[in-house]
Amino acid sequence: MLEQRRPIRLPSHDDLIDHLVRSTALPRGEAARVVLDVLAYFDETTEEYVRRRHRELQTAGAANAEIFDRIAAELPHRAVAPPELSLRQLRRIVYG
């Protein structure tokens, strides 16, 4: 017997979605997707962000020394900036 999944209940952001629909050319469904994408982006933990950016920059061909310097420079500009991390701490997040 297959287990039936319940739909995920997300907090309502109707006021923000309504604002986007009024102030842009986005249809409601697209505005809702944008809101959810932005919220997911800012919900990312520091560790998840460091790992994701490392993968992205490595895929783009950057060397590790450049990657870790760049991530260290980016972190203070996150919406909720984490404590300052040393290059060693950044490497430990990626490599364990």
pLDDT in tens, 19-64: 999 999 999 999 999 999 988 888 888 999 999 999 999 999 999 9
Tell me how far apart the alpha carbons of residues 49 and 33 are, in angstroms, rounded to a whole number.
21
Tell me how far apart the alpha carbons of residues 8 and 10 are, in angstroms, rounded to a whole number.
6
Q: Residue 45: what residue type?
A: T
6 pLDDT band (50/70/90 cuts)?
low
pTM of the model: 0.61
